């Protein structure tokens, strides 16, 4: 199997033996790592007790037009060679897809991208797949195929030749003990006993009730989760920006089956799928350091293009703390995935595409020293330095952010006040889930799933606010406070607010809150409608 982004391509491996000087030729556009498989395969076959054919050996990988990279072809190449040498019946190999790297001792080692490869095999009509035993649970997420997990080439030879299967020790701690008993029939417990990555993995025990005060910011986080709106939190260190971002994934709805497979496939290609937890069914959370390069954010790198942070946070949350400290080149590269929902990376060998539908949270200090606050006068930054610092966030990037909230440090009075703790994650998540269901019912039959995805022209023509509700927002447009795009974003946010509070369509209070969230809620100034409780 070849991987192109997160899509698998079935590759046919053929082996031909001809009389002549013993040689091993690999054709079909292999890269250097795949070319090196000749030595790995030869050593693995010999160390598995099989004889290496002393003839001219040619192995072809087709289609030849598809670039092939990595060590995941080792198992298939070894099986093709053994079939050509009649150690295995070639007819048995015709309808089996094999994925795995071979060690010199014949052990089968795990590789990246097992799930997308098995999905591609199922789409191509294959019903039997052989994978490393440690990846059998991941491959079994596709119920249409039968999965055989093997620890070694010796075991594979025995299974295919209908011989007694030798017992081998697991290749490391925590691996499954028994060899999967033969090729399981499709649909027979393929997902039984699968461990999933739950919300606990992402919130690490954090709860929204730990956030004291910050009603404006909490409201913005809830609106962001309910409508899929991007969020910008601005405030001094210690105000709670990171706390809020870390708790956002836990209030997002659980992923559906197809969404879980998409997210799991991306993590599988990146080689970051948690061992023993093959299916990710909770919103992922990715928080790259501000020194991250453009390639680290959007994907790429030398050799095989790998998914970046925007793809690792697909269907989840991308948190950019200290956003002005990121390079302008890296931040500008976010525009395309924000608009398109995917990343396209061009290479000389072809073009790869990674999904990147994420909820972005930006966090920044108000000034270089971070001590600016309307409550006190501790900042010593000159106005010119503050302007330069804030100018690092480009207008086009901020224009794609629907919500902007300024937060301040919690006062001692707020911290010690009776009942200062806010609502729990479970309570807020329930409202978010209900709001998403209302939006899904309204958007049924359209290509959109959340309010943030609906184009402005559709909002204005099909889902308009109540009579007179947009008057204040339209006056803001005339005064230059809002752009035409900003007015559409206010209406999107207003629909999310209406979904949260149970209104049939946005009224004046819903739009007023949306307008404040769009233009920035000043510190210490109450929201248009307090908290959404």
- Percent of the chain at pLDDT exceeding 70: 87
Between 200 and 354, name the one with better pLDDT: 354
Question: Is the pLDDT score of 301 beyond 60?
Answer: yes
Which among 452, 453, 450, 494 has a CA at the least distance from the CA of 470?
494
> Can you list the alpha helix ranges (DSSP code H) found in 130-285?
136-139, 153-160, 199-203, 215-227, 241-251, 257-270
Choice among 132-141, 217-226, 321-330, 382-391 with the minimum mean pLDDT: 382-391
Least confident piece of the model among 24-38, 233-247, 365-379, 447-461? 365-379
Nearest partner of 517 among 502, 532, 533, judged by Cα: 532
- Asked if 71 and 108 touch (Cβ cutoff 8 Å), the reply is no
DSSP run (H or E) holding 18 = strand 12-18
- Joined together, the tokens standing for residue 112 give 């990246």
Q: Is the pLDDT of residue 378 over 90?
A: no
Q: Which residue has the tokens 């092939």?
A: 68
Residue 178 clears pLDDT 70, i.e. is over it: no
pLDDT band at 171 (very low <50, low <70, confident <90, very high): low
Say what angle helices 484-501 and 425-442 make with each other, to 10 degrees: 110
pLDDT higher than 70, residue 467: yes
pLDDT in tens, 232-241: 999 888 888 9
Least confidently predicted of 286-290, 321-325, 521-525: 521-525
> What confidence score (pLDDT) does residue 246 get?
95
Is 200's pLDDT higher than 60?
no
Calculate the CA 418 to chain-centre distance.
40
What would the two tokens of residue 160 be? 């295919």
Predicted TM-score of the model (pTM): 0.87
At residue 181, the pLDDT reads 37
Q: For residue 179, what pLDDT is reported?
A: 40
DSSP letter for 209, please: G
Dump pLDDT digits (tens) for 92-139: 999 999 999 999 999 999 999 999 999 999 999 999 999 999 999 999
- Classified as helix, coil or strand, 396 is helix
Predicted local distance difference test score (pLDDT) of residue 371 = 77
CATH number (3.40.50.300, 3.30.360.10, 3.40.50.2300, 2.60.120.10) of 200-519 reads 3.40.50.300
Q: Return the top range by mean pLDDT from 232-246, 292-306, 308-322, 389-403.
A: 308-322
For helices 471-478 and 484-501, angle between their N-to-C axes, nearest 10 degrees: 160
Q: Report helix, strand or coil for 495.
A: helix
The residue with greater pLDDT, 361 or 163, is 361
The two domains 2-160 and 200-519 share their CATH topology (first three levels equal)? no
Residue 33 has a pLDDT of 77
What is the residue whose two structure tokens read 């952010």? 401
Query: Which of the listed CATH numbers 3.40.50.460, 3.30.70.360, 3.10.20.30, 3.30.230.10 matches domain 2-160?
Result: 3.30.230.10
Residue ranges per domain, the chain?
Answer: 2-160, 200-519
Residue 527, pLDDT score: 61
Mean pLDDT of the region 62-74: 88
Cβ–Cβ < 8 Å for 343, 311: yes
Check: CB of residue 468 under 8 Å from CB of residue 476: no
385 pLDDT higher than 60:
yes
Q: What percent of the chain has pLDDT over 90?
A: 60
């Amino acid at each position: 199997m070849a991987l192109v982004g997160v899509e698998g391509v079935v590759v046919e491996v053929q082996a031909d033996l001809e009389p002549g000087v013993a040689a091993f030729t690999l054709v079909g556009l292999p890269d250097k790592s795949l070319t090196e498989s000749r030595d790995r395969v030869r050593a693995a076959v010999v160390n598995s007790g099989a004889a290496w054919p002393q003839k001219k050996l040619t192995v072809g990988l087709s289609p030849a037009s598809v670039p092939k990279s990595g060590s995941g072809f080792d198992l298939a190449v070894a099986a093709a060679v053994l079939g050509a040498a009649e150690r295995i019946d070639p007819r048995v190999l015709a309808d089996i897809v094999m994925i795995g790297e071979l060690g010199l001792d014949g052990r089968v080692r795990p590789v990246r991208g097992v799930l997308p490869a098995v999905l591609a095999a199922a789409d191509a009509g294959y019903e039997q797949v052989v994978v490393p035993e440690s990846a059998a649970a991941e491959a079994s997420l596709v119920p249409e195929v039968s999965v055989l997990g093997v620890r070694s080439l010796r075991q594979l030879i025995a299974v295919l030749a209908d011989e007694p299967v030798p017992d081998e020790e697991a290749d490391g701690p925590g691996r499954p003990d028994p060899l999967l008993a033969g090729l399981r029939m499709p649909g027979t417990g393929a997902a039984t006993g699968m461990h999933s990555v739950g919300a606990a993995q992402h919130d690490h025990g954090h709860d929204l009730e730990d956030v004291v005060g910050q009603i404006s910011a909490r409201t913005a986080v809830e609106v962001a989760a309910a409508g899929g709106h991007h969020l910008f939190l601005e405030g001094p260190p210690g105000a709670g920006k990171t706390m809020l971002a870390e708790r956002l994934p836990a209030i997002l709805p659980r992923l559906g089956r197809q969404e879980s497979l998409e997210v799991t496939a991306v993590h599988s290609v990146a080689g970051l799928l948690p061992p023993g937890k093959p299916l990710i069914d909770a919103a992922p959370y990715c928080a790259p350091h501000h020194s991250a390069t453009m390639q680290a954010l959007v994907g790429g790198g030398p050799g095989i293009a790998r998914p970046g942070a925007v793809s690792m946070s697909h269907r989840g949350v991308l948190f950019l703390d200290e956003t002005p400290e990121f390079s302008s080149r890296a931040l500008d590269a976010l525009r395309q995935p924000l608009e398109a929902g995917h990343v396209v990376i061009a290479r000389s060998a072809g073009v790869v595409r990674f999904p990147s539908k994420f909820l972005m949270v930006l966090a920044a200090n108000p000034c270089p020293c971070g001590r600016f606050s309307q409550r006190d006068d501790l900042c010593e930054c000159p106005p010119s330095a503050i302007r330069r610092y804030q100018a690092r966030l480009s207008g086009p990037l901020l224009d794609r952010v629907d919500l902007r909230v300024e937060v301040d440090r919690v006062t001692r009075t707020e911290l010690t006040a009776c009942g200062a703790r806010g609502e729990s994650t479970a309570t807020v998540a329930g409202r978010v889930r209900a709001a998403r269901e209302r939006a899904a019912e309204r958007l049924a039959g359209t290509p959109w799933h959340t309010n943030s995805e609906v184009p402005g022209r559709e909002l204005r023509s099909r889902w308009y606010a109540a009579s007179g509700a947009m008057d204040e927002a339209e006056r803001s447009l005339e005064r230059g406070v809002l752009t035409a795009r900003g007015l559409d974003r206010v209406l999107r946010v207003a629909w999310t607010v209406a979904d949260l509070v149970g209104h049939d369509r946005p009224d004046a209070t819903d739009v007023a809150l949306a307008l404040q969230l769009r233009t920035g809620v000043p510190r210490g100034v109450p929201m248009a409608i307090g908290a959404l409780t």
